[in-house]
Structure 1
Amino acid sequence: MDGSVLLLSSILSILYLFECSQIPVQEKMLLKALGLNGRPNPVNRAPVPKTLWDIFEKGIQQDNPCRMEGFQVPGNILRSYRDQGPLISSELQQGSLCLRKHLFFDLSAVEKQEQITLGQLEIKSRHNVYYGQEFHLRLFRILQMSLKGMRQHKKSQKLIVAQSFRLLHKSLYFNLTKMAQDWTNMEKNMGLVLEISTTSNSSSSQCEQIHSFIHISLLTVSLDPSSCKTSRVKRSSATPQLTPSNICKKRNLYIDFRDVGWHNWVIAPRGYMANYCHGECPYPLTELLKGTNHAVLQTLVHSTEPESTPLPSCAPIKLSPISMLYYDNNDNVVLRHYEDMVVDECGCK
């Protein structure tokens, strides 16, 4: 919507006047528009995955802002979830079994209107190491939870991955898109079981390699259709002419997230040039003021009946998106594209 940046600029200006101890109604409205249920307050800051940094630094594809390049899937929201599952009792780790772990990722932040287009599990080593020992990996989907202390029934889990690997400084990736889609329903989200074993009876030193170096995370790409535009207004190739200071035009406005108390959860950018529209739309409207047909007629009527008909308003006619990298309310790292955040051109409406 055309007035979204004006609303954003007004809200952020108002926030600067409030104490951080009390979140004003305006901020709550803006946070809700950004897909957040309150101002995030990250406690355990997860490192930002390199993939998210790379996509953020590459920027938004202006001609196709609702496609995540690098993954080749539709999407404008990228989330990285940390594993929250516990280790399964060491009593079960016998023979060649080094590690048995419950993997769980909380996808409650995904909104109802979002469509998950990719779910990717990443298992990697933390350091640049290589060991000749070969390991076997098995990944099970939990279909039914067992009571604490009871042995897992065979029918309560389904084998979905079985492969061998060596500890290298590279990641193992597994496509879990269908499961991630199911996991947005919390009743269906029982997680996974990861088992890692050696080819022979495990020695403590071999198993310590697994415990010390394995890091697990889930990445999802999702599409919020309400934030995508099917068409975009092309920039005018005409060279702008100088206009009087009181004429409708774009004015510079830089928003610094530190000034509004958002710097502790917004990772990047630190701020951005939002701009705003201000000025008069006098009669007769010139081509420079980019007035709509309605605005042209309104100024004509105003010239004859100024008391009953106001002049058109100066408003954004061309806006562009930005990307934000931030921690959400669950301490997940999120990369999200937001439409209509920067005023590029102004006109009379």
Structure 2
Amino acid sequence: MLLKALGLNGRPKPVSPGPVPNALWKIFEAGIDTENPCRIEGFHVPGNIVRSYRDQGPFISNEVPHKSLCFKKHLFFDLSVIEKKEQVTFGQLEIKFKHNTYHGHEFQLRLYRPLHMSLKVMRDHHTNRKILFAQSFRLLHKSLNFNLTKVAQDWTTSENNMGLVMEIFAGDEETVNKLSQLCEQIHSFVHISLVTVSLDATSCKASRSKRSAESSLPTPSNICSKRRLYIDFKDVGWQNWVIAPRGYMANYCHGECPYPLTEMLKGTNHAVLQTLVHSIEPDITPLPCCAPTKLSPVVSMLYYDNNDNVVLRHYEDMAVDDCGCK
């Protein structure tokens, strides 16, 4: 049940997981704004789920090679894990290169969106594709990032997801004699990934009021109260797919709800009447139960999903903040 609540169809078993993008680490380490938990400040957009997808597309061989073309590649990212209740608010393509050196030569990158899916489109039928970006760059330490929000929104419908075509050129005809050497630098890129931010409005709740001073008052050990419980993901066998945190303070409620219920025990009207009846007929009517009355706003988890994608997600109601009688 808990795995399903986390948006998983089973316990993930990462086979060849990719690296965690720096952007996701920064968002995780920055923590959550409990007043506005359904906003990803790292990208300045609404959302509570961040996913990173690795490129699954193949290289494309050209029937008629261009003189300065280093390579052509089909980019494909499987966005089928995004649920219908989610709204994609941001999408960014990142192209990262292994070499951090500056070679002084300028390359050209072009990104196209196929209008029809076929092998011919992927090769040379330029009329069946739409150019999205054309950018010059040099081999510097910075990644190349492209905003694909509108494209990612379309890709949530699988029949619209035909991926992209990427072409990288080494320059004009004057550099043809150095083409092999220049293209070798380009082929050494580490990986291409897509990051999406989506909003699951059903998981967004209004910010809760701050804990009252009364809830922190000391209570007798046998009276209903919050007890400390730290869940270590290694203890429950989740360490292979949960990246961070290693665990969290979940807490639990335990103790008696004696008659008469004091205000400190935060009993419901039903619980107050139940304790009254229990005082008269203790063998027939049990005492109320000690249960959570307030749950911590959000817990963030960074993990691999069932498709080896890296996911950063904010979850509600995973830690007990206060207890009372019900």
TM-score normalized by the length of structure 1: 0.87
Matched residue of 1:163: which SS? strand
Matched residue of 1:102: which SS? strand
**1:71/1:150 Cα in 2 relative to 1: closer, same or farther (>3 Å)?**
closer
**1:164/1:34 Cα in 2 relative to 1: closer, same or farther (>3 Å)?**
same
> Which of 193, 208, 211 does residue 217 from structure 1 map onto?
193
**1:127/1:241 Cα in 2 relative to 1: closer, same or farther (>3 Å)?**
same
Q: Which moved more, 1:298-307 or 1:132-141?
A: 298-307
Distance in 2, Cα, partners of 1:150 & 1:287: 70
1:144 aligns to 2:116 (yes or no): yes
Structure 1 residue 288, shift from structure 2 partner: 1.7
Output the aligned Cα RMSD. 1.8
- Tell me what 2:203 maps to: 227
Distance in 1, Cα, partners of 2:64 & 2:224: 73
Q: Alpha-carbon deviations, 1:76-129, whole Å to 9, x = none?
A: 110001111111115554311112110000111111111111011112222321
Matched residue of 1:341: which SS? coil
- Tell me what 1:50 maps to: 22
- Tell me what 2:250 maps to: 274
- Tell me what 1:99 maps to: 71
Q: Between the two proteins, what is the percent identity of the paired residues?
A: 73
Instruction: Give the letter for the 1:254 counterpart.
Output: Y
1:334 aligns to 2:311 (yes or no): yes
- Tell me what 2:323 maps to: 346
Q: What stretches of structure 2 of length at least 5 have no aligned partner?
A: none
Q: What stretches of structure 1 of length at least 5 have no aligned partner?
A: 1-28
**1:92/1:271 Cα in 2 relative to 1: closer, same or farther (>3 Å)?**
farther
Q: Alpha-carbon deviations, 1:275-326, whole Å to 9, x = none?
A: 1101111111112212223322332333334344432211111111211111
Aligned residues: 321
TM-score normalized by the length of structure 2: 0.93
Matched residue of 1:340: which SS? coil
Instruction: Give the letter for the 1:54 counterpart.
Output: K
Query: Contact 1:93–1:99 (CA<8 Å) still a contact in 2?
Result: no
Matched residue of 1:158: which SS? strand
Map 1:165-180 to 2 at 5 A: 165-180=137-152
Distance in 2, Cα, partners of 1:150 & 1:90: 9
Map 1:121-132 to 2 at 5 A: 121-132=93-104
Distance in 2, Cα, partners of 1:251 & 1:82: 42
Structure 1 residue 54, shift from structure 2 partner: 1.1
- Tell me what 1:237 maps to: 213
> Which of 119, 133, 136 does residue 105 from structure 2 map onto?
133
